[in-house]
């Protein structure tokens, strides 16, 4: 569990990009500058697809700001690229929110509620980052057509527990030290001094993987 303990940190010290600037040329990729190697492998591999994983935390303010530029970027990904959010299960106050995402995904309301959760924690502050209760979560997700008893059952389900442990182990194996973290095809942890640069570097790594698959 020492590896998990080392992951108990607030958020990666990324500089937030408030405006998505005009597209810049893809960088000439350099290890240690634009990416770091990892052998974690894809989280949810699909034949013929390049996977992009985002390890995120609802309690992370950087992740909340990143979502504003990440979402339109995801919408523009090629058809042979998949995007997979993986909740950070670093322990402490991270885990209830990781469970909430996994329960929402199990019930099919993860995409509809994703931005709203960030807003509730970081904008309206109608939900607490720490100390959230199952009943409060169930009340929030009721807006998306899920009965509170059903949501609380999903939170406590064995499937959610298994997925939580899987997400935790993935972050450990990938040596994720903060959020948000992008991982391309289970091979590259994306680096960058800003959100824009992270996505530009991810584009270049995706292009590399697409070329290698043809």
Beta bridge partners of residue 182, listed in sequence order: 54
pLDDT, residue 133, reads 97
Q: How confident is the model at residue 28 (pLDDT cuts 50, 70, 90)?
A: confident
Counting the structural domains of the chain, the total is 1
In a domain, 1, yes or no: no
How much is the CA Rg of the chain, to the nearest whole Å? 17
* Cα–Cα distance for residue pair 129/116, rounded to 1 Å: 14
Q: Considering only CA atoms, which of 25, 65, 36 is closest in space to residue 192?
A: 36
Give the residue carrying structure tokens 């929030």.
140
More confident: 1 or 158: 158
Question: What's the pLDDT score for residue 146?
Answer: 98
Q: So what's the pLDDT on residue 13?
A: 38
3-state DSSP call for residue 16?
coil
pTM (two decimals): 0.86
Count Cβ atoms within 10 A of the Cβ of residue 22 and give its class: 0-12 exposed, 13-18 middle, 19 or more buried.
exposed
Q: What average pLDDT score do residues 160-184 get?
A: 97
Question: Is 191 part of a structural domain of the chain?
Answer: yes
Confirm whether 20 is domain-assigned: no
3-state helix, strand, coil in the chain (%, to 5): 45, 15, 40
- The answer to the question of residue 23 being in a domain is no
156: domain CATH number is: 3.40.30.10
Mean pLDDT confidence for 130-154:
98
> Is residue 9's pLDDT more than 80?
no
Q: Average of pLDDT values for 121-138? A: 97
- Cα gap 167→18, rounded to integer Å: 29
CA distance 91 to 159: 18
Does residue 191 have a pLDDT over 70?
Answer: yes
15 within a domain of the structure (yes/no): no
Whether 24 has a pLDDT exceeding 90, the answer reads no
At residue 173 the predicted structure's pLDDT band, cuts being 50, 70 and 90, is: very high
Identity of the highest mean pLDDT range in 4-8, 113-117, 208-212: 113-117
Choose the weakest-confidence range: 15-24, 26-35, 42-51, 81-90. Answer: 15-24
Tell whether 175 is covered by a domain.
yes
In a domain, residue 140? The reply is: yes
**Which pLDDT does position 6 carry in this prediction?**
44
Question: Inter-axis angle of helices 110-122 and 94-106, to 10 degrees?
Answer: 150
Best CA proximity match to 100, nearest among 116, 119, 87, 82 = 87
Give one DSSP letter per residue of 50-69, joined into a string. EEEEEEE-TT-HHHHHHHHH
User: What pLDDT, on the 0 to 100 scale, is given for residue 214?
Assistant: 63
Q: Which domain holds residue 188?
A: 35-212
190 in helix, strand or coil? strand
Q: What is the mean pLDDT of the chain?
A: 90
Answer yes or no: is 113 within a domain. yes
Is a pLDDT exceeding 50 seen at residue 60?
yes
Percent share of the chain, pLDDT over 90: 85
Average pLDDT over residues 125-152: 97
């Amino acid at each position: 569990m020492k590896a998990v303990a080392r992951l108990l940190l607030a958020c990666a010290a990324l500089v937030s990009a408030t405006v998505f600037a005009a597209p810049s040329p893809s960088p000439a990729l350099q290890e240690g500058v634009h990416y770091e190697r990892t052998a974690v492998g894809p989280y949810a591999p699909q034949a013929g697809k390049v996977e992009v994983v985002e390890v995120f935390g609802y309690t992370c303010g950087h992740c909340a700001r990143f979502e504003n530029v990440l979402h339109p970027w995801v919408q523009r990904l090629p058809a042979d690229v998949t995007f997979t959010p993986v909740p950070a299960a670093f322990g402490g106050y991270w885990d209830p929110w990781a469970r909430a995402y996994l329960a929402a995904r199990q019930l099919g309301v993860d995409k509809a509620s994703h931005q709203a959760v960030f807003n509730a924690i970081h904008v309206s502050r109608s939900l607490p980052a720490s100390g959230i209760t199952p009943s409060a979560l169930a009340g929030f997700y009721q807006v998306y057509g899920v009965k509170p008893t059903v949501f609380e059952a999903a939170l406590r389900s064995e499937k959610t527990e298994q997925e939580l442990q899987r997400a935790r182990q993935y972050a450990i194996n990938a040596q994720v030290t903060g959020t948000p973290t992008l991982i391309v095809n289970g091979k590259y942890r994306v680096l960058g001094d800003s959100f824009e640069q992270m996505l530009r570097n991810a584009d270049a790594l995706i292009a590399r993987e697409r070329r290698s698959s043809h």
